[in-house]
Amino acid sequence: MRNQTYILGKLVEITIIFFVIMTALFFLFRLSPGDPISKVADPMLTPEDMRYIIEQMGLDKPIWEQYVIYLKNFFTGNFGVSFHYGEPVFKIIRERLGWTVLLFTSSTILAAFAGVFLGKIAAWNKGSRLDNVLSISALVCYTLFIPWFALLLLWVFGFKLGLFPLGGILSPELWVGNASWFVRMLDILHHMLLPLMTLFVIHLGSYLLLMRSSMLSVLREDYIITARAKGLSERVIRNKHAAKNAALPVVTSVGLSLAFSINGGALTEQIFTWPGIGRELIFAVSNNDYPLAQACFLLIALVVCWPIWLWIFSMPIWIRGLPIEPQGMVLE
Amino acid sequence: MALLSIKNLSIGYQTKAGMLKAVDNISFELERGRPLGFVGESGCGKTTIGMTLMGLLPGNAHILGGSIGFQNQDLIQLNEDQWRRVRGKEIAMIFQAAMNALNPVMRVDEQVIEAIVTHTPDISPADLDKRINELFDLVEIPRVRMKDFPHEYSGGMKQRVIIAMALACNPKLIIADEPTTALDVIVQDQILKEIKAIQKAMNTGLIFISHDIAVVASVCKDICVMYGGQIVETGTREEVFRNPRHPYTKALLGSYLSLDNELTVVIPDMRETPDLTLESGCCRFAVNCKTCSSACKAEVPQWIDISGSHKALCCDETIIRNSHE
Ligand SMILES: Nc1ncnc2c1ncn2[C@@H]1O[C@H](COP(=O)(O)OP(=O)(O)OP(=O)(O)O)[C@@H](O)[C@H]1O
Ligand SMILES: [Mg+2]
């Protein structure tokens, strides 16, 4: 029963958070310089489209009325039409989201697995040459400046060696024609490799260091001595008893970084012209495309709250079903 | 023949201050039916002895000398592989800090099962099941709670699981290192009773470590009093309790626990901590000894027999002999 009250409290909390975010978004964009109506006057739009947009958002009305319209639109699931594209924002986001998720999720998860594995080995061989090499490399990865590293990769592998395309997701010749889905998939992978590499390397360092320090502290725990006292082999102690506990902070950290997937990969997306949400967000903000930018930010807010959603909807499953410390899942 | 026979064992920790002789030249024997208790204040080397018997000393620890005879072998000579076969199977240990001694991400029964399976990999599922139920019955944990995670257990239940784990492979020797220190008095009492009953029923060897001489006396037939890494007095519990001879034993019997329940024993007029970097063999108690003479600081203390099993370590025979009031 206490749990139900707690969950209810959380839901109220989330609602309030969203309301505040939405209000802030609305006014922030109205404060930014530039006249929206002139922005709407994109030569690509027909006059009917323009009138439709202006009417829909009440751009010719006083600001508080615009605010009410904005809230009403939002709660009826109407995110509006992009100034620039003249298409429903919802549709644009749906198209971009998949690409971002593909790139960011796969790189984060790969980096997490590699980081856990290497961090475990580094901690287990603490003070050895291997540990030093791994730790220093991780530190270098961690402090890399993303744009610089991305451009370097692009320059070396894309431009000099010509091994990879310079941007985009699909080779032009495959846009048309009837290449099989397999060929398309390979081509996408080919395009994805450099941005994936960038994000992978950037994340790897922090996961490795996190796992290493977490593992070192776990190795000092009493239950590790208990495990030794049972006569278990070192391999079992390392993998079953130590690494599983030590990986918990990494799991949390992966969760949190997934929450930042939308904006976190924005620079990388921009450099590799990867058609994801992050790139769209940069574009929308720099072009005063209110509806699109607002929706992007709302999406970020929604995603950042994901651990709370997860916690609310799957708590019973987490506690009973996963090989991960149940206490670790209790947020707050 | 004694189950365990330790001769002139010395263990040092390499530290910045030099070699810390945490255990200095101790010898004792242990019989199956006669639980042996170690008592002494915090830092006197009790856990170090236990860890040595498990082959689990930390990296900076060195065995400086002596031998540990156990079942016709000298444990000091074992390599890591041989140790692994002794740990849990022949010698098991119940640890001091029960609160974190269980792995938080594993179900409780799995952790006990693991102890069995490691040493008897070809046990049949049915036998394993039977054994697990037996063990949980023995330590009085309801079977419905077997599949819980450690955080769902109380401190007393965790300690019981640790005991079950130690018993899992029917070890010949159990080392209980302050098994009840973290528990309240009532649970402490239950656990002590259980340990005693189990020891009797299974006739295992038992080394019982505590800073509380009353607890040790309730479980053990023989007692070793330790100070600064040395055994200073040993005898049956009646001898040591009724007729303490060493000045430290006397102080210990007159001591009380400080109110904030620190593990340190507060002893009137004992301010100095023993210097463990001293040369091996010196009297470590001299700094705090009220009857100490100048000879004590120069000479090497000798064992002085009081009766067959009762003896004390001191430089001054007259102090020991005449101290019975
Ligand atoms: N890893 C270590 N490195 C250096 N010194 C150590 C180490 N472990 C223990 N010591 C020292 O060895 C001495 C004996 O420690 P030990 O843990 O055996 O004491 P204890 O009798 O078990 O004390 P307590 O009652 O507090 O558990 C202490 O002075 C302690 O400071
Ligand atoms: Mg101890």
Q: What is the pLDDT of residues B218-232, one digit of tens each?
A: 899 999 999 989 999
Residues ≥6 apart with Cβ < 8 Å to B84: A231, A232, A233
| Comparison of pLDDT for B133 and A80, the residue scoring more | B133
Do the Cβ atoms of B92 and A223 come within 8 Å? no
Helix (H) or strand (E) segment spanning residue B25 = strand B18-30
- Cα–Cα distances (Å) from B138 to A226, B128, B199, B234, in that order, read 20, 15, 12, 32
Nearest CA among A320, A316, A291, A321 for reference residue A54:
A291
Identify the pLDDT of residue A306: 64
Q: How many residues would you count in chain B?
A: 325
Cα atoms in the Cβ-side hemisphere of radius 13 Å centred on B190: 14
Reported confidence tier of residue A315, pLDDT bands at 50, 70, 90: low
CA distance A31 to A114: 45
Run of H or E including A312:
helix A306-321
- The least confident of A212-221, B56-65, B209-218 is B209-218
Report in angstroms the alpha-carbon separations of A314 from A7, A305, A330.
Answer: 12, 14, 11
Average pLDDT over chain A reads 81
Q: Find the ligand nearest to B226 CA.
A: 1
Averaged pLDDT, A308-313: 62
With b for 16 or more beta-carbon neighbours within 10 A and e for fewer, the B92-111 pattern comes to bbbbbbbebbbbbbbbbbeb
Predicted confidence at residue A283, as pLDDT, reads 87
* Atom nearest to B229 CA in ligand 1: 14
List the residue whose alpha carbon is closest to atom 14 of ligand 1.
B45
Ligand 1 centre distance from Cα of residue B264 (Å): 13
Per the rule left: phi > 0, alpha: psi between -120 and 50, beta: everything else, B26 is beta
**Minimum-distance CB partner of A229 among B54, B102, B151:** B54
**If you compute the radius of gyration of chain A from its CA atoms, what whole number of angstroms results?**
24
Cβ within 8 Å, pair B105-A245: yes
Identify the CA nearest to A53 among candidates A32, A84, A25: A84
Residue B307's Cβ-count burial label (10 Å; 0-12, 13-18, 19+) is: exposed
- Measured CA to CA, the distance from residue A107 to residue A118 in angstroms comes to 16
Of A270, A275, A269, A215, the C-alpha closest to A245 is: A215
pLDDT attached to residue B133: 94
Model confidence at A219, in pLDDT bands (50, 70, 90)? Answer: very high
Report if pTM > 0.90.
Answer: no
Mean pLDDT, to the nearest integer, of B315-321? 78
Residue A97 three-state SS: helix
The structure tokens listed for B213 are 């001489």
What spacing in Å lies between the alpha carbon of A146 and ligand 2's midpoint? 51
How confident is the model at residue B30, as a pLDDT? Answer: 93
Q: Are strands B302-305 and B256-257 parallel, antiparallel or unpaired?
A: unpaired
Q: How confident is the model at residue B7 (pLDDT cuts 50, 70, 90)?
A: very high
Q: Do A228 and B151 touch (CB under 8 A)?
A: no
Q: Which residues, in sequence order, are bridge partners of residue B205?
A: B173
Contact between residue B231 and residue B281 where contact means Cβ atoms under 8 Å apart: no
Confidence of residue A51 (pLDDT cuts 50, 70, 90): confident
Tokens coding B6 = 């330790």
Residues of chain B with C-beta less than 8 angstroms from the C-beta of A327: 104, 151
**Token digits for A14?**
């989330």
Distance, C-alpha A152 to centroid of its chain: 23
Residues of A in contact with B87 (CB under 8 A): 228-231
pLDDT value at position B114? 94
| Total beta-carbon pairs less than 8 A apart between chain A and chain B | 68
Residue B257: pLDDT band with limits 50, 70, 90: very low
Give the model's pLDDT for residue A27. Answer: 83
Token pair in block for residue A227: 């495990």
Report residue A76's pLDDT band, with 50, 70 and 90 as the boundaries. Answer: confident
Closest C-alpha to A274, from A260, A286, A264: A264
* Per-residue burial over B188-226, b = 16 or more CB atoms within 10 Å of its CB, e = otherwise: bebbbebbbebbeeeebbbbbbbbbbebbbbbbebbbbb
Span B35-82, pLDDT tens digits = 999 998 888 999 999 999 999 999 899 999 999 999 889 999 999 999
Q: Which element (helix H / strand E) includes A130? A: helix A129-143
Min Cα distance A3 → chain B (Å) is 17
Q: Given a cut of 80, is residue A12 above it in pLDDT? A: yes
The full set of domains in chain A, from first to last, is 92-287 (1.10.3720.10)
Partner residue opposite A327 with nearest CB, options B100, B103, B104: B104
DSSP state of B14: E
Structure confidence by residue, pLDDT tens digits, A254-304 = 877 776 777 667 888 888 888 888 888 888 888 878 788 888 888 887 777
Ordered by start, the domain boundaries in chain B are 4-220, 242-325
Model confidence at A316, in pLDDT bands (50, 70, 90)? very low
Q: What is the mean pLDDT of residues A167-191?
A: 79
- Asked if the model's pLDDT at residue B187 lies above 90, the reply is no
Q: How high is the pLDDT of residue A326?
A: 42
- Whether the CB-CB separation of B313 and B302 falls below 8 Å is answered with yes
pLDDT band at residue A86 using 50, 70 and 90 as cut-offs: confident
- Going by CA atoms, what residue is nearest to atom 22 of ligand 1? B47
Question: What distances in angstroms separate CA B76 from CA A226, B46, B88, one per listed residue?
Answer: 21, 18, 17
pLDDT tens-digit profile of B119-148? Answer: 999 999 999 999 999 999 988 899 999 999
Share of chain A above pLDDT 70, in %: 83
User: So what CATH class is B4-220?
Assistant: alpha beta
pLDDT (tens digit, 9 = 90+) per residue, B258-297? Answer: 445 554 554 555 667 777 777 777 788 877 777 777 777 7
Quick one: pLDDT at residue B56? 92
pLDDT of residue B145: 92
Task: List residues near ligand 1 (CB under 6 A).
Answer: B 13, 15, 20, 22, 42-48, 58, 60, 96, 211, 263, 276
pLDDT confidence of residue B303: 87
Interface test with A, best of B103, B173, B178 (most A CBs within 10 A): B103
pLDDT level of residue B305 (50, 70, 90 thresholds): confident
Interface ipTM: 0.85
Looking at mean pLDDT, say which of A40-49, A61-70, A301-310 comes out highest.
A61-70
User: What is the pLDDT at residue A39?
Assistant: 60
Nearest C-alpha neighbor of B98 from the set B189, B182, B187, B168: B182
Contact A149, A201 (CB under 8 A): yes
For the stretch A180-215, pLDDT in tens is 788 888 888 888 999 999 999 989 999 999 999 999
Q: If you average pLDDT over residues B90-118, what whole number do you get?
A: 89
Contact B105 A227 (CB under 8 A): no
Query: Average pLDDT, stretch A221-243?
Result: 93
Least confident of A86-90, A151-155, B38-42, B127-131: A86-90
Q: Name the phi and psi angles at B143, rounded to 5.
A: -60, -30
**What does the pLDDT average to over B295-319?**
82
Q: Which residue has the higher pLDDT, A126 or A42?
A: A126
